[in-house]
Structure 1
Amino acid sequence: MKRIFKIWLPVIFVITAISCSENDLEPADKIEVPEGYVLVWNDEFDNGQIDPLKWTFETGDGTDYGLPRGWGNNELQIYTTSDENARVDMDGDVSALIITALKHGENDFTSAKLTTNGLFSMRFGRVDVRAKLPKGQGIWPAIWTLGDNRSIVDWPGCGEIDIMELLGHEPNKIYGSVHYVDGENRKGESQGYYELTGPDFSEAYHIFSLVWTPETLTFMVNDVKYHEVAIEDDMKEFLRSHYLILNVAVGGYWPGYPDESTAFPQSMYVDYVRVFEKEGFDTPEPPVLDIEEETLGQNLEPGIAQHAIKEGFDDLGNIEVISYGGGGEPYIDTSENAIDGELSLVFDFPGGAWGGAYFQMEQPRNLSNYSHLVFALKKPESLADAEIKLESPSTQSAIFLINYESTELSNGFVEYSIPLSDFHGLDLIQLDIPFAIWNPFDASGDFVAATVLIDNLHFTNR
């Protein structure tokens, strides 16, 4: 993996140089260049169409990119390449890139996600994006970056810089954040915010900026600094190159979900994207990538997931357990407290943020001959509810524990028996995630710290 990283790094810079040729740049007399900088890449969106030499689309629900459905955040939209979702058009007297989220029916949404992945990347400098933002409950526009090594190191080990995120129910407030893997292989982040006192961000264009040096990441709105992050020794993600991303998501754990107050369509208008470098800046060499250092969470022993499965139940085949989240993902362990076999599986949720864990089968399997999902949990009284989700390659469905009665077992466990018919719209012929538990809540609806033991998971007929 390290050899791959070293091979591709020079190619990235060659691509950058090609993308930044003088023929690709807007004439300098049309662009206000910050003092001490030179323009190296830009798109003014004034040619009537999206430039395929500068932007590429990511499409679908995230599974084609190695993410759980919903782009890892339980988002609702499907990203497309349709000009209904992304086009260059006039917004008054501004020629802009317009990314539009559309509602086609109940829980049926489309939008667009554009990136410069493989076409342009940057490492240090300044980014200015002039944009007007959408609003509404469940609407989530973003201007951000990911590390070029995203294909070989999982998020957040690739690094993420959120130049701008807005939660649609707070249209006067934007966030600037960074996400990374810290020195203890846990998710690290730093976040600041900026609030308008006048008309909200949907009423006018504003310039969202990132100033990136080897020492700091500085976030600004209209040249006003509101957040700065010092790049510490365990933040090497921000000493490597990143590509740019523009998108409008619908729903997710953080923004919540659209309701009857949400109007569609909702659009983000981007007047321009400009990238500058410091004049005379001598770019230092990037650190060598250490995959283990930048990998979130644990190195789990092979087969650890089997401790949650009923002994003798073989219809799930080879299976692995994956922990994922935005800081609320559980630590995975085993316990000698079990009701089936010698060990149960432990999910230790830290609380405070969204997260969960799921079982992934090696290949999809047909479980349509069963009527019920059965599993045993040992959970604290503070855990009032959690989401149980099953998925196939094309469908997903969830129930909530609070809606089901349990049967007391020994050793503090209770058993749930969930009719598979309650997982509405689920394709049981091609099931590949036979169990997931997400987002333990307390009675107030807050993410709760909870140690959950899971055992005797199987499918049966009742």
Structure 2
Amino acid sequence: MKKLSKLATRLTERLPIILRTALGTLIMGQALAPAQDTTPQAELVWSDEFDGDSLDYSKWGVAVNAFGGGNHELQIYTDRPENVRVENGNLVLEARHDHAAIAGTEREYSSGRIHTKHRGDWTYGRVEVRAKLPVGQGIWPAIWMLPTDDAYGGWAASGEIDIMEYRGQTPNEVLGTLHFGGSWPENTHSSASYKLPAGTFAEEFHVFTLDWQAEKMVWSVDGHAYRTETKWHSSQAEYPAPFDQRFHLLLNLAVGGGFVGSPDATTAFPQQLLVDYVRVYQ
């Protein structure tokens, strides 16, 4: 069923060409040639469609971390199927209020975080992730990239690219952010947000895209570009550093932290970040 859905999506994307051809046949008795597309075509170099029944460990590593992910987050990251699994054609990262423990350390919440480090590392390209987001006060999903080699030093001197992050208490808005400059606390960042014209990101799947070139990055949601960035800097090297090195992808679902605050009585658990596919083009 999922493969049929993806085929339907591709056919829908080609619908304008099909309609032009049919119109030409009706009016002129012959098909009109579609307009030439002069945009350079990128090649799919890495992808995961999550069509199987388990995570592909040749593509993903799973975080096991009893102390969250920093930023005063409240979750413990585990590799349990309760927190990380593939089912019904989707990656599921699930946040739970279950007092899970690792190596004798218990935390109130548990969740999942995966990465492509040393399995998928790229310099420049287009990253597309189709996902459905969770909802609720204190819920913090993210699709982001970190440097594989830390060529310019510790965070954030070597950079961080946030393709999508989101506060569960404002479910109609996502953000795209860059972190750069020097090592903490000499770092800085730039950010912009995109709001849905109607509905929320928790109601259906959306495609989050980063187009990353040597001196330009463009963030899009469902094909709508909402941010273009051409200015950043590094304390260690000339522009376009630090974003001239290889980066890897991370997907995670955090609970709490300075960005979103703690869950409250209105926050329902479990919450899920569902990912339909990840595709990287160069």
TM-score exceeds 0.5? yes
Q: Could you tell me whether the CA contact under 8 Å between 1:128 and 1:273 is conserved in 2?
A: yes
Q: Cα offset for 1:232?
A: 4.0
Q: Output the CA distance in 1 between the equivalents of 2:112 and 2:61.
A: 11
Determine if contact 1:231/1:238 at 8 Å carries over to the other structure: no
C-alpha spacing 1:177/1:83, structure 2 compared with 1 (3 Å): same
Which residue of 2 is the match for residue 48 of structure 1? 53
The structural deviation recorded for 1:186 is 2.2
Q: Which of 261, 264, 268 matches 1:259? A: 264
Question: Alignment partner of 1:191: what SS?
Answer: strand
Distance 1:185 1:166, change over 3 A: closer
RMSD: 2.5
TM-superposed CA distance for 1:188, in Å, is 1.9
Report the number of matched residues.
239
Residue 258 of structure 2 aligns to a residue in which SS?
coil
In 2, Cα distance between equivalents of 1:153 and 1:118: 18
Task: Indicate how the Cα distance of structure 1 residues 151 and 58 shifts in structure 2: closer, same or farther if over 3 A, else same.
Answer: farther
Aligned partner of 1:103 in structure 2 is: 97
The code of the aligned residue for 1:190 comes to S
| AA at the equivalent of 1:144 | W
Q: What is the CA-CA distance between 1:107 and the residue it aligns to?
A: 5.9
* Closer, same or farther: CA 77–184 of 1 in aligned 2, 3 Å: closer
Structure 2 CA distance for aligned equivalents of residues 233 and 140 of structure 1: 27
Q: Deviations over 1:189-248 (max 9, x none)?
A: 110100012110000000000000001111000111111111445351211110000000
Aligned residue runs from structure 1 range 266-345, under 5 A: 266-277=271-282
Q: State the alpha-carbon separation in 2 of the partners of residues 183 and 107 from structure 1.
A: 29
Question: Is the CA contact 1:136–1:262 (under 8 Å) kept in the aligned structure 2?
Answer: yes
Please tell me the residue identity of whatever aligns with 2:121. S
8 Å CA contact retained: 2:128, 2:280: yes
Paired position in structure 2 for 1:314: none
Cα 1:183–1:112 shift into 2, 3 Å? closer
3-state SS in 2 of match to 1:149 = coil
2:244 aligned with 1:239:
yes
* C-alpha deviation, 1:182, in angstroms: 4.9
- SS at the partner of 1:237? coil
User: Alpha-carbon deviations, 1:66-95, whole Å to 9, x = none?
Assistant: xxx4422000000000111011111xxxx1
Q: Distance in 2 between matches of 1:58 and 1:181?
A: 27
For 1:213, the equivalent position in structure 2 comes to 213
Distance change >3 Å, CA 160–CA 184, structure 1 → 2: closer
Letter in 1 for 2:130: R
Cross-structure match for 1:171? 171
Equivalent residues of 1:214, 1:231 under 8 A apart: no
- The equivalent residue for 2:71 is 73
Does the CA-based 8 Å contact 1:42-1:275 persist in structure 2? yes
> Paired residue for 1:249, among 251, 254, 265?
254
Equivalences for residues 295-444 of structure 1 within 5 A: none
* 1:129 matched to 2:138: no
**Whole-angstrom distance in 1 between the partners of 2:183 and 2:110:** 38
Aligned to 2:26: none
Give the secondary structure class of the aligned counterpart of 2:149: helix
C-alpha contact 1:148 1:158 (8 A) present in aligned 2:
no
- Name structure 2 gaps, 5 residues minimum: 14-38, 100-105, 235-239
Structure 2: how far apart are the matches of 1:150 and 1:264? 36
Alignment of 1:184-223 (within 5 A): 186-223=186-223
Distance change in 2, residues 1:58/1:151 (3 Å) = farther
- Distance of 1:240 and 1:170 partners within structure 2: 33
Tell me, in whole angstroms, the C-alpha distance in 2 between the residues paired with 1:200 and 1:249. Answer: 19
Secondary structure in structure 2 of the residue aligned to 1:142 = strand
> Higher Cα Rg: structure 1 or 2?
1
More relative contact order in 1 or in 2 (CA 8 Å, sep 6+)?
A: 2
Q: Is the 8 A contact 1:140 1:166 kept in 2?
A: yes
Aligned partner letter, 1:241:
R
**Structure 1 unaligned blocks of 5 or more:** 1-25, 62-68, 278-462
Using the aligned pairs only, state the percent identity: 39
Structure 2 residue 64 is the aligned partner of structure 1 residue 59 = yes
Question: How far apart in 1 are the matches of 2:213 and 2:69?
Answer: 29
Q: Specify the code of the residue in structure 1 equivalent to 2:92.
A: I
Q: Which amino acid aligns with 1:98?
A: V
Residues 217 and 231 in structure 1, CA contact (< 8 A), matched pair in contact too: no
Q: How big is the shift at 1:57?
A: 0.8
Separation in structure 1 between the aligned mates of residue 264 and residue 184 of structure 2, nearest angstrom: 39
